Amino acid sequence: MGRRAQNKQGVPLPLDQEKRTGKVTEKLNKQLRNNIVKNSKPGKSTRKSLEDKGSSGGSKRKREKETDNSIAITKSRKSSAVLKTKKDLFEDSDLDQGTGGPESGWDNMEMASEDGEDSDISMGSYEGTSDSDEDEDDSKELAARSSDFLFDKDEVNSHSDSSDEDSAEEDSTEEEEEEGEEEEEEFGELGDIEKKSRKLEKLQKLEATLAEEEQRDMIERNEQEEDFFEFTLPTEEDLAREAESPPDLNVVQQRIQDVVHVLNSFSQLRESNRSRSEYMNQLTRDMAFYYGYSEFLLEKLMQLFPVSEAIEFFEANEVPRPVTIRTNTLKTRRRDLAQALINRGVNLDVIGKWSKVGLTIYDSPVPIGATPEYMAGHYMIQAASSFLPVMALSPQPHERVLDMSSAPGGKTTHCAALMRNTGVIFANDANKEREKALVANIHRLGVSNAVVCNYDGREFPKVMGGFDRVLLDAPCSGTGVISKDASVKVNKTEQDFNMLTHLQKELILSAIDSVDANSKTGGYIVYSTCSVTVDEDESVVDYALRKRPNVKLVDTGLDFGREGFSKFRGKAFHPSLSLTRRFFAHTHNMDGFYVAKFKKLSNKITSPSGENGSTEARSTGGEPKPKKSKKKRSD
Ligand SMILES: C[S@@+](CC[C@H](N)C(=O)[O-])C[C@H]1O[C@@H](n2cnc3c(N)ncnc32)[C@H](O)[C@@H]1O
């Protein structure tokens, strides 16, 4: 558990709270707009003072009040003409009801965000709330407001009276009054529909103007903020002093934010005598401390993302993923299972459009691993990400399938369900202890087409071959499941990674050699890990492509997930690596996962130089083992 999670004296704010781009900015814009609509009066600044922000951790955000006020006043005045007209439009039509002041503006925003997340899950999108969803919500709200406004005739008619009474309205320009008179005349002449559509058009124009105005204001505000932002990296002495006193997470958190800010606008905000690597070193040190990782692992994981995204990644690892279950279609249908669980008071929803068998469990009055339905084998408690390799493998009825590292059997039993208990699955694992759970699950779920075996996967081609499909859900470091097992943060050394990747490379060649390229229905291999490191993912797959030119990567068939790296930190992989898929907690709300799918083209191993190898793999069963490549490789 990281210090961030351990800290009991007040939880620091999420580090991305001050993000200046993307959705947060958009939300901020919305809030600003709300505040301005509610509060804007000529001469009153609606902007939050920058001085409100913390200045610990070596940063200073100064503001020259006079300059700022004058800008604020000018801006506020500039907006007021527009706002006033908008106010006219809304004032007497009850449109303000329920929107409250600036604080409730924040409240509304938070609620909208939560709703977005909920509907995200219930609608099955794992891509997060899209901007267009938010836009759609906004436009619905606007349409609702507009239609209230347009169709409440009495309110519209009383509008001019009440505006006369409003002293602030007396300041309105003559043009505005003239426009109002003209409007009344026109209203007398034009039909209802035309009148309404003109009003709506006007409303839309005002909205657009307001949005533009606030966008400009936001940009200007950010620029000013940067002008007054100062951050100095702590010296060795500062750090030594800091180390002597009890750790203050708030100081570290603030420094992380500041360093990220500097790195994002490096040429503008850096100290001239400091290099990027000095900032990166401080960031690594602080983040490792803050989230409780070894510096070695933190650095490795940091390399996967731009710095701001890395923070989202580490934050997501502090939050548990939703509990998910997979319906065992050998015994029941998802609809019936959901109904049975709902009858027990379980609060659930479908997992997403991408799966027809998954359910997300929000809460349950009974342990979800002890219901009668669980005991009867109607479902498997399984992470959403674990569905993916089996979906990619797509085993067919009557095929011969090998699950090379199968315990405790989540994927074996899924394969059996897709094969409708026909054909045969060899459920292998090198660990006999873990196979107890595999056997128990096979029995509980009613799988009758599995043969459990206990070989080192590297030896499998010597035992048998000729499979239509092979799944290698490889042993890995588990960097994708840190939210479940936080010990990974500190217990994986460089040596562990070296040993693991070596094993993974041997296993992947074995998996390839176990498949029959001439299979009428298959000839596929899926490689997956619950780790996000390139060493265990793309590097292993690229190695396999080089060592076995008789396979090629194909589309995984998964219609979401991020493309695998085809180059990484100066290292070029085969371009087809982009066909592989990466999944992350912070982007897909599921455990970190990697999936690659190969098609075997020939049972002959062609040497990397393009010559035909003299041997065939054991892929058709019984053939000699492929000769070892004489060429020495660095990996
Ligand atoms: C990620 S887990 C597999 C999870 C499993 N596929 C499931 O869905 O339930 C990796 C497995 O690889 C097994 N393993 C480790 N080394 C192995 C080897 N040399 N050959 C075969 N299996 C191995 C481990 O015992 C572990 O059960």
CATH number at residue 397: 3.40.50.150
In the predicted structure, residue 120 carries a pLDDT above the cut 50: no
Is the predicted pLDDT of residue 3 greater than 70, yes or no? no
Residues with catalytic function: 530
Measured distance CA(359)–CA(374) in Å, rounded:
13
Least confident range of 107-111, 356-360, 447-451: 107-111
Cβ contact 252:57 at 8 Å: yes
Buried b (16+ CB within 10 A) or exposed e, 428-465: bbbeeeebeebeebbebbbbebbebeebebeebbeebb
* Residue 87 placed within a domain: yes
Is the pLDDT assigned to residue 135 strictly greater than 50?
A: no
Tell me the pairing of strands 593-600 and 524-529.
antiparallel
**What DSSP state is assigned to residue 576?**
G
**Helix, strand, coil percentages, rounded to 5, for the chain:** 50, 10, 35
Specify the 3-state DSSP secondary structure of 604: strand
Q: Is the pLDDT of residue 65 over 90?
A: no
Q: Is residue 634 part of a domain?
A: no
Write b or e for each residue in 515-553: b if 16 or more Cβ atoms lie within 10 A of its Cβ, otherwise e: bbbebeebbbbbbbbbbbbbbbbbbbbbbbbebbbbbeb
Give the model's pLDDT for residue 188.
Answer: 53
Nearest atom in ligand 1 to 429's CA: 22
Within-domain flag for 433: yes
Instruction: Let me know whether 365 and 273 are in one domain.
Output: no
Let me know if residue 324 belongs to a domain. Answer: no
Residue 445 token pair: 């779920």
Residue 260 lies inside a defined structural domain of this protein:
yes
Q: Nearest 10 degrees: CA dihedral of 367, 373, 376, 382?
A: -60
Residue 501 · residue 540 · CB < 8 Å: yes
Mean pLDDT of 403-412: 98
Looking at per-residue confidence, does 144 or 234 come out higher?
A: 234
Cα of 616 vs centre of ligand 1, distance in Å, is 27
629 part of a folded domain = no
On whether both 376 and 399 belong to a single domain, the answer is no
Based on the fold, state whether residues 269 and 303 are members of the same structural domain: yes
CB 488 within 8 A of CB 524: no
The finding on whether 586 has its CB within 6 A of some atom of ligand 1 is no
Same domain for 389 and 376: no
Domain boundary among 287, 316, 345: 316
Out of 324, 404, 405, give the residue to mutate to test ligand 1, the one with the largest number of ligand atoms within 8 Å of its CB. 405
CATH value at residue 363:
3.30.70.1170
* One domain, residues 417 and 291: no
Mean pLDDT value across residues 352-368 = 97
Q: 324, 381, 431: which to mutate for ligand 1, most atoms within 8 A of CB?
A: 431
- Cα 250 to ligand 1 centre (Å): 41
Least confident of 51-55, 249-253, 483-487, 559-563: 51-55
Ligand 1 binding pocket includes 406 (Cβ within 6 Å)? yes
| Shared domain check, 577 and 477 | yes
Q: 230 pLDDT band (50/70/90 cuts)?
A: confident
Whole-angstrom CA distances from 444 to 90, 126, 406, 424, 450 are 63, 30, 16, 18, 13
Q: How far apart are CA 404 and CA 5, in angstroms?
A: 37
Same domain? For 223 and 106 the reply is yes
Considering the entire predicted model, what is its pTM? Answer: 0.68
Residue 356 is part of which domain span?
A: 330-381
Q: Is 407 in the pocket of ligand 1 (CB under 6 A)?
A: yes
Tell whether 631 is covered by a domain.
Answer: no
Q: Examine the domain organization and report whether 497 and 579 are in the same domain.
A: yes
Q: What is the C-alpha to C-alpha distance for residues 447 and 464, in angstroms, rounded to an integer?
A: 22
Q: Are residues 416 and 481 in the same domain?
A: yes
Q: Is 536 in the pocket of ligand 1 (CB under 6 A)?
A: no
Last residue of a domain, one of 203, 227, 251: 227
Overall number of domains in the chain: 4
Peptide bond into 408 cis (omega under 30): yes
Q: Which of 345, 493, 511 is nearest to 426 (CA)?
A: 511
Instruction: Report pLDDT for 475.
Output: 98
Please say which residue of 266, 294, 316 terminates a domain: 316
Q: List beta partners, residue 60.
A: 230
In angstroms, what CA-CA distances link 271 with 23, 55, 226, 254? 30, 17, 14, 18
- Give dist(CA 400, CA 465) in Å, integer: 10
- Whether 304 and 335 map to the same domain: the answer is no
pLDDT band at 214 (very low <50, low <70, confident <90, very high): confident
Task: Please report, rounded to a whole number, the percentage of residues in the chain having pLDDT higher than 90.
Answer: 57
CB 413 within 8 A of CB 442: yes
Task: Return the structure tokens found at 477.
Answer: 């470091």
Q: Are residues 272 and 301 in the same domain?
A: yes
Kindly report the protein residue whose alpha carbon is nearest to atom 2 of ligand 1: 475
The answer to whether residue 397 scores a pLDDT higher than 80 is yes
The reply to whether 578 falls in a domain is yes
Same domain for 294 and 346, yes or no, is: no
